[in-house]
Amino acid sequence: MVAFTLDPDQAAWAARVREIAAKELRPLAEAGEPGRVNRPLLAALGELGLLARVFPADGGPVAALDLCLLRESLARECTEAETALALQGLGAHPLLTAPAVAARWLPEVTAGRAVAAFALTEPDAGSDAAALALAAEPDGTGGAAGWRLTGEKCWISNAPEADILTVFARTGPDAGARGVTAFAVPADRPGLTGEHLDMLSPHPIGRLVFDGVPVGPDDVLGAPGHGFRTAMTTLDLFRPSVGAFAVGMAQAALDAAVAHAGERTAFGGPLKDMQAVAHPLAEMATRTEAARLLVYAAATAYDSGAADVTARAAMAKLYATETAQYVVDAAVQIHGARALRRGHLLEHLYREVRAPRIYEGATEVQRTIIARELYR
């Protein structure tokens, strides 16, 4: 396959996903409460087999290009469905490192019956993810030695409604990335509480408080002290697909702007004939296609095991999310005041598009990663 060209089967599948999103998923999304987990939507994603595309039944790795096509296609028609699917993948993907945990939880996550969350960020450890302070204190009571989690996580998607959380905590005295361990923590563990946070972004985000939450050796994901590696491996897979989400939003905004400029008349003719509108449309289309190609390139690099996947993933997320912000903003400008009315597609995208430039590594962090990789 040529690296950046979809074959007919891929193109047909992407079109089918867009159709499903528009006809079956969007009504469920619109019926949900903004800022809360939409369980009927998750159940539909499971019943339609879309969540299974994130967790292959044979236990093998998910194809990054497949994930990117899925996220882009969903985002063009229903950002809520895209985000619900992506958060399941991000929260549960680390569970694959512990076969017993995966056997318990992945069937529920894939069916859309259990909600997963990726609990990495803390109030003082956002872009500097290695600055984690959530403490895992040794606890030898009750048989096999374990730990008690004490501290706080913040800005966690799907919190506090998630059923199973991937939690990163410091089990060793070393600073930085060393001494961090990843745990699978069911939401019903004693000492775990949380609250919703009212955010600009319409998807669910919350805060989690750990007051001596017990975890044991069976809850460890990967190996003790290797949690930061687990986090970064997960992010290498999902960062290009964040770019795919951004490309889907950019394409939706571009399609809306093209349609509006062709129908709306001003100063004696359609907007599309005015250079002040035509040139921004051309720029929006070019940047969107360039972002799409970067995303496909990063996904292909991941699937082929390329050595430069970290740099490519960072480039894809950086350029695609910045492009989506530009394209959505330009589309709003072309539409004028109507695009700012509550319920308009572009009003929704305008709120949705801002967060991806921050989560899973802010734009500035991606630039730092890319620069560091140049000298590796």
- What are the catalytic residues? 360
Report angle CA 48, 95, 163 to the nearest 5 degrees: 65
CA 136 → CA 133, 169, 244, 304, distances in Å?
9, 6, 35, 36
CA 65/CA 85 separation, integer angstroms = 15
Amino acid at 34: P
Is the CB of residue 350 less than 8 Å from the CB of residue 200? Answer: no
Phi-psi region of 155 (alpha: psi -120 to 50; beta: other; left: phi over 0): left
Whether the CA torsion 198, 200, 204, 205 is positive or negative: it is negative
Strands 164-170 and 116-119: parallel
CA 185/CA 211 separation, integer angstroms = 13
Angle between helices 79-92 and 39-47 in degrees, nearest 10: 80
Query: What per-residue string of b and e applies to 41-69 under the rule 16 or more CB within 10 Å gives b?
Result: bbebbbebebbebbbeeeeeebbbbbbbb
| CA nearest to 165, candidates 239, 85, 92, 84 | 92
CA 223/CA 107 separation, integer angstroms = 23
| Residues 6 or more apart in contact with residue 254 via CB below 8 angstroms | 281, 284, 285, 288, 327, 331
